[in-house]
Amino acid sequence: MSLKERILIVEDDNGISHFISTVLTSNNYDALTARTGMEGRRMMLSQSPDLVLLDLGLPDMDGISIVKAVREWSRLPIVVVSARTHERDKVAALDMGADDYITKPFGPSELLARVRAAIRHGGNRSPHPDAAQTGKYQVGDLLIDYDKHQVLVAGVNARLTQNEYKIITLLGRYAGKVITYDYLLRAIWGPISGGGNQILRVNMANIRRKIEKNPAEPEYIFTEAGVGYRLREDP
Ligand code: CA
């Protein structure tokens, strides 16, 4: 009986595929590889992986349409792998339901952090972001106390506003995963028209002022340029 999580790598570049596969197998995962989108889709069905690492630049199929097709029948966690030159593609992939992304080139620790977070949260994205959450989330000196509706930094109440609290609790629920600007905006303000990113930026600046030692170099909430925010998680 194997308790190892099984990860399918869909990547046409042999070097990258081998690198990912080596990192995963040496960290107690089972790694399967596919070289094309077609082969990848076949293996998603036949091998029931726990997670897919999907290259967006495949020779035969568009990675984004693969994400879309998979989401029609499955919550299988998908982390898209993209080149730095394809910023728009990764946002599109996240909008289509990918769980996270990783940008080439990346190292083993970043890869493992994305994989861990995606497997842990995979399939859990609640359609009701306001649903009650209890307990606590702690990373470093930051403590989100869901029961008391408070965020503490080194034991001191950060005195967040209602919306600031909602933003950080949403990030906390998916700690380690990127949450897109659009997802946050919809979850907190509902469908609103243009200028939405500005209101989010203002709220984020205020949150950082309250929780970060140096808001210009955040240690808790990271900006993923052009995509969204990610709350740090302790490995
Ligand atoms: Ca490729």
Q: Residue 17 C-alpha to ligand 1 middle, in angstroms?
A: 10
Q: Residue 181 C-alpha to ligand 1 middle, in angstroms?
A: 27
Mean pLDDT of the chain: 89
Which pLDDT score, from 0 to 100, does residue 127 have? 40
Q: Residue 123 C-alpha to ligand 1 middle, in angstroms?
A: 26
Q: What percent of the chain has pLDDT over 70?
A: 92
Tell whether omega for the bond before 129 is within 30 degrees of 0, i.e. cis: no
What is the signed CA dihedral for 9, 10, 14, 20, rounded to 10 degrees? -20
CA distances from residue 141 to 148, 209, 212 in whole angstroms, order as listed: 17, 15, 10
pLDDT score of 130 more than 50: no
Q: What pLDDT band is residue 186 in, cutting at 50, 70 and 90?
A: confident
Q: How does pLDDT run across 73-121, given as a tens digit for each residue?
A: 888 999 999 887 777 888 889 988 999 999 999 999 999 999 999 998 8
Q: Residue 10 C-alpha to ligand 1 middle, in angstroms?
A: 9
Q: How does pLDDT run across 29-66, given as a tens digit for each residue?
A: 999 999 999 999 999 999 999 999 999 999 999 889 99
Q: What percent of the chain has pLDDT over 90?
A: 69
Q: Residue 39 C-alpha to ligand 1 middle, in angstroms?
A: 14
Domains and CATH numbers, the chain: 6-123 (3.40.50.2300), 129-231 (1.10.10.10)
pLDDT score of 234 more than 80: no
Which pLDDT score, from 0 to 100, does residue 235 have? 67
pLDDT score of 132 more than 60: no
Q: Residue 12 C-alpha to ligand 1 middle, in angstroms?
A: 5
Average pLDDT, integer, range 167-195: 85
Other Cβ atoms within 10 Å of 67 Cβ, number: 22
φ, ψ (nearest 5 deg) of residue 159? 50, 60
CA distance 146 to 177: 19
Which pLDDT score, from 0 to 100, does residue 219 have? 96
Q: Residue 223 C-alpha to ligand 1 middle, in angstroms?
A: 26
pLDDT, greater one: 168 or 186 = 168
CA distance 222 to 201: 13
Q: Residue 4 C-alpha to ligand 1 middle, in angstroms?
A: 27
pLDDT score of 135 more than 90: no
Ligand 1 being an ion, which residues bring their Cβ within 5 A of it? 12, 55, 57
